[in-house]
Amino acid sequence: MAKGIKLISIRVRDDFLECLEDDREVWRFAISKILLIAEHTTDAGPWADDYFLNFRSFENGQLGEATIGDSVGNQGATLQTLGQKLGADLQFSLLSSTEWASRVMWPPDLAGHPYFTFRELKPTNWREKLSRRVFGPTHEYFLTEEVQAFLRQFESNP
């Protein structure tokens, strides 16, 4: 491996979902505590990550959040193993999308529903206008009301 390049991967080990950087643990969620898995895309590719997996958990009385990009290794096998442990068929649906899109993958009650709401930001100065002409519009995104309501129920009922 070239010096300075970090190898990031995810895996299921025992009853945990782990993210590793150069074999050091970056984050770890107990699979039984995972509340939600979602995927989302941006229009940043192909020169930057434009596909992401999002995980939400509730452990020790707190909501946890982790996001990994499409350059993270072992996603397919890990998602398949994670799906088996959750009793769900977790499928990548937005992997080839070149537009801003999102969807919940799990839990089943929210599966297929939008995860984020995207809003295009209007340029307010000449730099933003130039950037828009060269790179396209800028977007901001936030959790949908449905996802926010789902997560709030865990915050209020620990």
Q: What percentage of the chain exceeds 70 in pLDDT?
A: 91
Which residues lie across from 70 on neighbouring strands?
A: none
Report the mean per-residue pLDDT for the chain: 86
CB neighbour list of residue 152: distance below 8 Å, 6 or more residues apart:
none
Q: What are the residue boundaries of the structural domains of the chain, listed by start?
A: 8-114
**pTM (2 decimals)?**
0.83
Average pLDDT over residues 136-158: 85
d(CA 68, CA 53): 5
pLDDT (tens digit per residue) in 77-121:
899 999 999 999 898 888 777 778 899 999 999 999 999 998 888
The sheet with strand 101-106 has its strands ordered as 62-69, 51-59, 34-41, 101-106
